[in-house]
Amino acid sequence: MIKSAAIVKTKSLAPWREVRLQKRKLKKAQTAERKATKQIRPSPIGKREVVVVSEVVVEVFEIPADESPATREEMLQQAEAIGMKVDKRWSDATLLKHIEESQCLTQNDNS
């Protein structure tokens, strides 16, 4: 509102600003209403619930000694027997893969 000695003018907002202001006021009102009607259910911090779970049956399968995976030392001995150069950074799986590949190649060469 602009006041002068003789003239009083009211300044109007641009239409986009009016819409923006209305949306902002509506959002504030909705937030205040949501906070006013919010239901708080405090949980006891010191109390714990103990839940009883039904019995779990665990079956243990024993791997026969013949089928057990080879140890690292056994794989290193096999690689040395083949004459393969082994990198110490290789994992057991990588070492086993290289040994199996070299054994497959030697079997194919012999047949």
Residue 79, amino acid: A
Residue 93 has pLDDT above 70, yes or no: yes
What is the C-alpha to C-alpha distance for residues 68 and 62, in angstroms, rounded to an integer? 9
pLDDT at residue 104, as a whole number: 84
Mean pLDDT of 87-102: 90
Q: What is the pLDDT of residues 71-89, one digit of tens each?
A: 889 889 989 988 889 888 9
Between 64 and 40, name the one with better pLDDT. Answer: 40
Q: Where are the domains of the chain?
A: 72-110
pLDDT at residue 71, as a whole number: 86
Low-confidence winner among 22-31, 62-71, 88-97 (lowest mean pLDDT): 62-71
